Amino acid sequence: MTAARTATRGPARRAELLDQLVEVFLAEGFATFTLDELARRLHCSKSTLYAVAGSKEQLVVAAVRRFFARATVAVEERAAAPADAGGRIEAYLLAVSEQLRPASATFFADLAAFPPAAEVYAANTRTAARRVQQLVSAGVGAGELRPAHASFVGAAVTEVMAAIHAGRIAAATDLDDAAAYAELAALVVAGLHRSRP
């Protein structure tokens, strides 16, 4: 095998293993797994996992980063499709819901309990809030949305997103995360709708 093929195979294999870890962690969480168990589940050696990350904790953080990186790409693709500002905001929030739908309650509990992974999640929530602010600002600037304080809208969306993922919305309303995101999208878009004279 040539050095070029080896170099190509290394990153590709790492990405494949991270994708497999993401699927396992989303379904079952990550706190209770040992490296031995993960190696068995992924049909690889522990040394292969150590080539991806130096410890179980680093492996978890790498997989969580991978999950959010993939989700961000999918969400942005969906948000780019609608022609109008309200449609882009709605598509963005609904796409976030779709990307998070496979994540189990165990995954979210483990995420909250492990500060390095929780910070990855928090950073992505902050990024989502900034993105909503940008979409609102662009829509207001184009005259497609009513004049609104984009930072306030972004901050409000962030708080609701955090409440959805913490389970507070489900506890208060019996809505699952996907339904809660649909309601959030409808609320934000309706609140920003520009009334026609």
Helix (H, G, I), strand (E, B) or coil at 193: strand
Fold of 3-192: Tetracycline Repressor; domain 2 (1.10.357)
Q: Provide the 8-state DSSP code for 31.
A: T
CB 85 within 8 A of CB 144: yes
Q: Provide the 8-state DSSP code for 145.
A: B
pTM metric for this prediction: 0.84
- Residue 178 burial (CB count, 10 A): 14
Q: Return per-residue pLDDT of the chain as tens, 197 residues.
A: 444 333 335 788 889 999 999 999 999 999 999 999 999 999 999 999 998 999 999 999 999 999 999 999 999 999 999 999 999 999 999 998 889 889 888 998 899 899 999 999 988 888 888 898 899 989 988 999 998 888 888 889 889 988 887 779 989 998 888 788 889 999 999 999 876 55
CB 82 within 8 A of CB 29: no
